[in-house]
Every structure is written in C-alpha cells, then in structure tokens.
Amino acid sequence: MSLKLKVPLAGKYVESEKTFDVYDKYLGTKLDAVPSMGTREVDLAIEAAANAFTDMSRLTALDRQDALLQVADGLIERKGGLAKILISEGGMTVKQAEFEVERASKIFRLYATEIPHLHGESVTLDADIRGKNKHGYWFRVPAGIIAAITGFNDPLVLLAHKLAPAFAVGDVVIAKPASLAPISSIEMCSLFTKTVLPAAAISVITGDGRLLGPPIVKNRRVRVVSFTGGVEAGEEIAKVAGLKRLVMELGSNCPNIVCSDANLDHAVESLVDAAYSYQGQNCLHAQRILVQDGIYEDFKQRFLNLASKLKMGDPRLESTEIGPMISEPAAKKVEEWVNEAKRLGAKVLLGGARSGVFYQPTLLESVPANAKVMIDEIFGPVSCLMKFSDIREAVRISNTSDYGLGAAIFTNKLDLVMYAILHLQFGIIKVNESTDVRLDIIPFGGFKSSGLGREGLKQAIEEMSEVKMVVHNLDEPHFAGHMQN
C-alpha cells in the first residue's frame, strides 16, 4: 500500500496535504494516510456529479449492466488483496474478509441481472370519469445524485448495496465511507473508474463525517441520501436534509426466541455465531436471546460450552474466530455498558473483560430492563440471556425495544410461528434461523428507530429512481385524424 492514498473525486484521482491515518486494528501499525477533505471537495464532487448525470443519460442499459459486471469481476480478481485490507483496517477474520469480497461481487451481479426488468406499467385511465379516450403509462427514471454514507462494518457489502442499484438505474454517486475503515471502500469505488461510466459518476469523500455529512446531505442537487449508521446520526440527517428521499438503516437490538420444541443443537450453533461473529459489530447481532423456561438451563449450558471454545486473537490466522474490535474506544464503550449492567444486578456467565482493542465474547444473565445493553444497540460481542414462559411473553419482551430491524424464532409449531409473525414489530422475521443472516435479495430494513425505506433489488431500485407518468389524449384532433387514416 501507499503511504498517501489517492481517492477518486470529480473525475480525477486526488491526494491531499491534510490527511488522517488509518491503522491496522490488531497490530496498531499505520496502513495509509487518507485525504482529509472539507466542504470544497464536497462542492467539487457534487458539481462534477451533476455534469456526469447528463453524460450518464447517454449510456444504454447494456452499458450500465456491463459496468456492474466488470466491477463484480474486478472484486473477485482482487479478492486476496481486498481481504488483506479488510483484515487490517476492520479486524475481520480471514473467513469473514474473503466472504465480504465475494458477497459484494454477487451484489453487483444481482443488480446487473435486474437491469432488464426496469420497466413500468400501463394505467387504465378510463376507470376515471375524466379518463375517456386517454391512454396512460408510467416508467422509472434515475433520481439523480445519490449520497451513499456507510459504516465501518461490512464496508464493501454496505456500499455495494447503494452503488449497485444507483448505477443500475442510471444515477451518479457521492460515497462517504467510515473514517475508521475507508480503504477497502476506496479500492472498490476505484474499479468503477475503469468502466464505461463517466469518470465523475462516482466521487469518494473521506474525512470527518461530522464536518462532511451536513454539506453533502443539505445540498439540493442530492436527491437521495442512503445512510447506514447510528440513530443519532440518522436523526441529524433527517433534520438537515430537506426535501429529498431518505433511506436509512439505523441498527437494532435483535431478539432471538427459542421455544421448548426447538432443535437445540441448531439453535445454539446459530445463536453463538449470531452473538459473536465479527465481534458483534453487526446490526443483526443477537443481542437478546429469549429461551423458554423448560429448556433454559439446557440451552444455557450448551451455549456456554460452545461459546467458550471460540478462539480470539490475530485475525490473520485461519484458526482465529474472534478478532479485535474496530477501535479501543468502541471496546471501552462495551466495557462500560457491561459494567453498568453488573452494577444493576446482571450476572456474567461468560467473558466480561476487555484487553485493549479486544473484548471477550460475553453472555449476561438476569439483566435489568433499564440497563443500556437491554435498551440500545451495543455493537459488540455481548448478548443477554433471559427466560420466558409462553410466546405472548416472549413477543411482549421483544417489542419493548425502540428498534425494529430483525427478530427470530426457533420452533416447529405453526401456531407459534404465526403468532410471532403477526405480533413482532420488526421488519424482518426469521424462522429457525438467527437474526444475523442478511440475504442480499430481500427487502432489508426495519420499523421504528431502525430506519426508513428498504434496500434489496426491487425496493432499492424504487428508492433510487422516480416515477414518470405519461398521459396521451386520444381525442386530440390531429391524433384522431391520424388514427382514421
């Protein structure tokens, strides 16, 4: 890697005298100096994007499809190098990093196959009293400039879910990756500059999100803001964005319900992975695990036996299952929340200790309802175990959260499944699978504080495009005469 990274901006590769350093999360060594941009660069990127949008309209659907497929191929060709970056800047394990690259590539392929289906519908206008002798139809057109703002976790996948639908419909993009792990995102965006897309169809803005976010989302020429991050940042975006579409995934505190008839081996294996994969830094992390009282002790022992075998250490080693967290402040926040829960009466069944940037896989029991770890999103390797007596109690406990992204239930009883589906206040319900699995083709998003809008093929394309309605008046004299001839 270089020691002064160049970033695609306004159709050029730029560097900056003012930079910020990105560090290896395990070794603590410097990886790169990344441009620390300001409002000047934001203005340049938006101006260039507006011009590129005109050029984008000259491309065919086949051109856009080829571009997405070329990027998909480029990701796989660079899989080894990108995985090393993800391991270094994000603390991913080898398996997680390689899968991240593969998923991102498949997302671009999915949207490439969706391009031929960008169609509209005819409208039966004479169902309206004023619609006699009128013919109507609508179709989708690109929205314009998309602001794609992402978090540090799953940096390629999160950004791919914004870039792919945007370019599929013919939009242009201003991308703002997280400063804690921006390098892999920059590398992926750079692949687009080698395609037929206009050079300024994508610009990457790097630096302090608190400084750069407002001028990006406020700008009237930005028509859609697609944001993945925290609730507080999402609320700030909503306050300043103005009249534009907002698509926001803002996290969760996911409940996973295990009923007495569940396959315990499967439930335990699924939930240990959902609790501690990527150090719990996942919006679908199994933060609350509710187990029916009749099997509670059995589940607990099986869970502890499996979770205690997880290997924590250098993410470059194939045997490592738990790597470092994204930063020491993030690990300290987890430590503070666990200590608060302990002061309020929670019992630590597993883990509960920090060492620098590492935090042990942790399982808590008897956690009071007013503890932060029960209310908010911890974004760390901590889960709360609790018992319930019947499905109504489990659903009631699950719905106490202000979040509503994902919930799961493990049972083979149809009546319990249907009760959960009908009454859980979450955007995604999993049955006999943990919350911590995102299928990239589903409508992805949640209720309440978990955000606005949806990602995922058809839904993301709708969010990043506009409907143009056409009405033909067949009574117009010239048209009527033409029809008679």
Q: Which residues are catalytic?
A: 249, 283
| C-alpha dihedral, 342 to 346 to 351 to 353, nearest 10° | -10
Distance CA(434)–CA(407), nearest Å, equals: 8
Distance CA(358)–CA(27), nearest Å, equals: 12
Distance CA(216)–CA(106), nearest Å, equals: 29
- CA 164 vs CA 105, 158, 159, 460: distances in Å: 10, 10, 8, 9
Q: Are strands 347-350 and 403-404 parallel, antiparallel or unpaired?
A: unpaired
Q: Are strands 465-473 and 134-142 parallel, antiparallel or unpaired?
A: antiparallel
Name the token pair of 484: 């008679």
| C-alpha dihedral, 163 to 164 to 169 to 173, nearest 10° | 10
Do residues 39 and 168 make contact, with C-beta atoms less than 8 angstroms apart? Answer: no
Burial (CB count <10 Å: 0-12, 13-18, 19+), residue 468:
exposed
**What DSSP assignment string belongs to 415-442?**
HHHHHHHHH---SEEEESS-S----TTS
Do residues 33 and 3 make contact, with C-beta atoms less than 8 angstroms apart? Answer: yes
Distance CA(476)–CA(262), nearest Å, equals: 67
Distance CA(463)–CA(226), nearest Å, equals: 9
Distance CA(408)–CA(32), nearest Å, equals: 40
Distance CA(99)–CA(191), nearest Å, equals: 19
- Taking phi over 0 as left and psi of -120 to 50 as alpha, with beta for the rest, 42 belongs to alpha
Nearest-5° Cα angle at 203, 197 to 207 = 160
Count how many residues are written for the chain: 485
Phi, psi of 19 (to 5 degrees): -135, 170
Q: Residues 6 or more apart from 117 whose CB is under 8 A from it?
A: none
- CA 122 vs CA 38, 119, 133, 135: distances in Å: 46, 10, 14, 8
Q: Which of 258, 239, 257, 256 is nearest to 248 (CA)?
A: 239
